[in-house]
Structure 1
Amino acid sequence: MNLDKFDIEILDILQKDNLTSQRDIGEKIGLSAAAVQRRIKKMREEKVILADISVIDPEEVVSQILLFVEIELDTDKIEFIDEIKSTFNKVPQIQQCYYVTGEVDFILVMVVKSMQEYESLTRKLFFSNSNIRRFKTFVNMHTVKTGLQIPLPK
């Protein structure tokens, strides 16, 4: 989808607050509420907008441990990579999964209730997978900044 200036401005506003009314968006960027609505609908249909979600502060809801895990594979055969991607996709504790370049193959962002839960997951996901050469875990002590907005061209 080719995004124009208005689409970019709409996305910029929605990334900050997706509950902003279409009328308010239209007033800010110089379009009617109906035009904004059509553009948003099209961006959802074209998968430019993937989801409308609420970001929840986990510390306010339940005590959880945030982990960052580096995974190094033993082989880089595509069938093994696809298999592990599929496995990671099914694990709810894995919040984000990145297939990366460099010394490791994957970086996972995980949320667990306890280190005992994490140990159980490591046995199931990492130790029992013969294609995982090693993994390294980093435990978050304090979240300084998180970002959910994609910098958009102006």
Structure 2
Amino acid sequence: MPRKLPSSPALLDRYDKAILRLLQRDNRTAQRVIAESVALSTAAVQRRIAAMEAAGVIAANVALVNPEAVSATITSIVEVLLHDESAARVDAAKALFRATPEVQQCYYVTGGSSFVLVIVAPDMRRYERLTRLLFAENPCVKSYRSLIALDRVKTGGTITIPD
């Protein structure tokens, strides 16, 4: 049976944190290797990983794909301003952005915008179609501003885990 985690992720112990650091570097690291590195048994590491997955601490195990390797050459950061921040408009926008595969990341933000999105598309023609669907023809959207990335200087998904 998986070990029960504390109700707060901030209460992860030093072993959990060490395991997370190793998994963030390479989630294919053998549990035997992790166990040796953190001075636990392989079974204990397996139980801890299962518990962190069940608790949502480990949200997914994914492969980070180089966009150019699959012909996704346009990366755009888009600021979106809704007409208003009513729950219905925000929820509708969230649902649409979640359902669009080209939207790689989406953040509901404070400040001068309602949302900031990272969109990856194969070419400018597809990107234009996306902007029409998501923004220009969307009655919830007041305005949007696209920033086309010239270079992907740093990308990733690792989180700094304090000791």
- After TM superposition, is the score higher than 0.5? yes
**Runs of 4+ with deviation above 3 angstroms:** none
Write the distance in 1 (CA, Å) between the matches of 2:132 and 2:70. Answer: 27
Tell me the equivalent position of 1:83.
92
Runs of at least 5 residues in structure 2 that lack an aligned partner in the other structure: 7-11
Aligned residue pairs, count: 154
Write the distance in 2 (CA, Å) between the matches of 1:151 and 1:36. Answer: 20
Matched, 1:18 2:27: yes
| Structure 1 residue 144 displacement after superposition | 1.1
Tell me the equivalent position of 1:6.
15
Does the CA-based 8 Å contact 2:72-2:120 persist in structure 1?
no
Runs of at least 5 residues in structure 1 that lack an aligned partner in the other structure: none
| Structure 1 residue 59 displacement after superposition | 1.6
Write the distance in 1 (CA, Å) between the matches of 2:139 and 2:32. Answer: 55
Secondary structure, in 3 states, of the residue corresponding to 2:107?
strand
Matched, 1:114 2:123: yes
Write the distance in 1 (CA, Å) between the matches of 2:35 and 2:159. Answer: 21
| Structure 1 residue 63 displacement after superposition | 4.3
Deviation readout 1:35-64 (Å, 9 max, x if unpaired): 000100111111111111111111223242
Write the distance in 2 (CA, Å) between the matches of 1:123 and 1:111. Answer: 15
Please give the TM-score of this superposition, normalised by the length of structure 1. Answer: 0.95
Matched, 1:72 2:81: yes
Secondary structure, in 3 states, of the residue corresponding to 1:137?
strand
1:28-67 to structure 2, matched below 5 A, reads 28-67=37-76
- 1:20 maps to a residue whose letter is T
Secondary structure, in 3 states, of the residue corresponding to 2:143?
strand
Write the distance in 1 (CA, Å) between the matches of 2:86 and 2:66. Answer: 38
- 2:50 maps to a residue whose letter is K
Tell me the equivalent position of 1:126.
135
| Structure 1 residue 97 displacement after superposition | 0.5
Tell me the equivalent position of 2:144.
135
Write the distance in 2 (CA, Å) between the matches of 1:24 and 1:32. Answer: 10
Secondary structure, in 3 states, of the residue corresponding to 1:143?
coil
- 2:86 maps to a residue whose letter is K
